[in-house]
Amino acid sequence: MASRSIGIYLDSNTIIHFVEVRDRGIEHLLRLTDSGAVRLHASEVALAEILVKPLELGNAALIDIYEQFLSVDGAVAVQPVTRAILVSSARNRAGFGNKGIDAIHIASALSAACTVFVSGDKRIRCPEGLERWDVEQLLGWAATQ
């Protein structure tokens, strides 16, 4: 019997880590994505967060890398910011006190049926059924797969 794939949501700070730190663990994670064992997700709103510094620095190469990483046909499924996502994010803010952008990320993860939310922000509170991991937890888990 084939195992179900796990939905993993990447917060903006996780994407920045993978692109700028160039951790080799991401290569294994992407192989798990290729095999169907893992589904990676992010939100369109991540681009608004991630591109600020490269735009300020005029770093066209880094801008291109981020845009490719979060492209429609890339390894990461990019969730659109819809009215339903925004309503869900408002519920998250009301129930858990997360900041607006963080609540949009959480709502996007839930919409994509993710069970893992990867973020370096320890202040983020996730609802039941969505577990927050840091990058080290994710890469440690991926190494055992």
Instruction: Give the residue extent of every domain in the chain.
Output: 6-143
The secondary element (H helix, E strand) that includes residue 122 is none
Selection from 69-73, 90-94, 138-142 with the highest mean pLDDT: 90-94
**pLDDT at 2 > cutoff 60:** no
Q: What is the model's pTM? A: 0.91
Q: Which residue has the tokens 């290569």?
A: 27
If you write DSSP's letter for every residue of 63-103 in order, what string do you get? Answer: HHHHHHHTSTTSSEEEEP--HHHHHHHHHHHHHH---HHHH
Percent residues over pLDDT 90 in the chain = 72
> Residue for token digits 């990447």?
10
Residue 66 makes CB contacts below 8 A (sequence gap 6+) with 15, 19, 47, 50, 51, 54
- Burial of residue 61 (number of CB atoms within 10 Å: 0-12, 13-18, 19+): exposed
Q: What is the mean pLDDT of the chain?
A: 91
- Give the residue, 144 or 3, on which the prediction is more confident: 144
CA distances from 100 to 33, 50, 88, 124 (A): 29, 16, 11, 11
Give the residue-averaged pLDDT of 95-124: 96
pLDDT grade for 73, boundaries at 50, 70 and 90: confident
pLDDT bracket for residue 3 (50, 70, 90): low
Average pLDDT, stretch 108-124? Answer: 96
Which pLDDT value is given to residue 57?
96
pLDDT tens per residue across span 35-65: 888 999 999 999 999 999 999 999 999 999 9
Class in CATH terms, 6-143: alpha beta
Q: How confident is the model at residue 29 (pLDDT cuts 50, 70, 90)?
A: confident
CA atoms of 27 and 15, how far apart (whole Å): 13
